[in-house]
Amino acid sequence: MCKKINFVAFHFSVIVLFLFSYIVLNNSVAKAQSELPSNEKIREEISLTIQVLKPTLPKKVDAQTTWTDVKHFGVRGIQYYYQININIKKIIEIPDINNILSKMMIEKYCKEPALYWYRDNFVEIKWTYFDITNEKILSIRANPNDCQ
């Protein structure tokens, strides 16, 4: 009988702990979301970023990649455009290229200190890549929900 009571008490404690954690986390998330700048304010900040970056483009990123443009994306987003100096037929021959690039860019979004402002203000980034003939290769999106 004593073991049964301890078992029930233990499970009750676990349930209470989970409920408490859930309530605390939900309140923290709600508070964090309510402290986010408005969509209008974020759009103004992104506009300023675009005004600064556009005159510097196109810009060589590496031997094969050129950053060609930057624009608003959605309600709280920014989109970067790149051209890769390879034909799409050669690019798609690379095994798992979409997953490799996607994983790399999402990790960059989540861990790169220069991108903290985007994450902290729940700004989505979209990177779109084109081949040498301007054929779209892929687009990758990242937002704070992708960071774990």
Contact 123, 42 (CB under 8 A): yes
Tokens of 55: 């005159």
Q: Say what the pLDDT of residue 97 is.
A: 82
- The residue assigned the tokens 């408005």 is 38
Q: What is the mean pLDDT of residues 64-70?
A: 95
Give Cβ neighbours of residue 4 (< 8 Å, ≥ 6 apart). Answer: none
Residue 117: pLDDT band (50, 70, 90) is: very high
Contact 124, 77 (CB under 8 A): yes
Q: Say what the pLDDT of residue 66 is.
A: 96
Q: Is the pTM of this model over 0.85?
A: no
Q: What is the mean pLDDT of residues 89-118?
A: 89
- The residue assigned the tokens 């037929």 is 89
Q: What is the mean pLDDT of the chain?
A: 82
In the predicted structure, residue 33 carries a pLDDT above the cut 70 = no
DSSP 71-111: EEETTTEEEEEEEESS-HHHHTTSTTHHHHHHHHHHHHHHH
- The residue assigned the tokens 């974020």 is 42
